[in-house]
Structure 1
Amino acid sequence: MHFVQADRSPGDLLNNLTAQGVQVEVCGIYLPNREADEDDLAEGIGMAAPPEVAEYMRQEHVRYFTF
């Protein structure tokens, strides 16, 4: 997989990741503090549940990106 390209926006990179089947989720506390809900997220983007994310991230093989 090729993720980095200098002339791409963060949105372009995100779209590339989801097109390749990467699971993308926003922080579980992001949307409740906005005037948006899960229906406003782009297709293929979900909302994370903090306990599940923490358990997943503790696995040795997991790589993740934060912004």
Structure 2
Amino acid sequence: MPDRTSLLRFGLIGTVIVALCCFTPVLVILLGAVGLSALLGWLDYVLLPALAVFIGITFYALWRRHAAR
């Protein structure tokens, strides 16, 4: 099991990356540029659950950090 700071770092970095892909057209432009625009219809099925998982990891790491004090 990773320590508290690496779990928090993992959660925050994952949340920021997935949020950038969800709320900005970064991934749409990237997939269109490499010719994989057919995958754009499936992004919501992957990105929204991934965002929920990373937010959950972040909250869990913050809870563990608070409980350790």
TM-score for both structures, normalised by structure 2 = 0.25
Between structures 1 and 2, the one with greater helix share: 2
Q: Which has the higher strand share?
A: 1
If you compute each CA radius of gyration, which structure gives the higher value, 1 or 2? 2
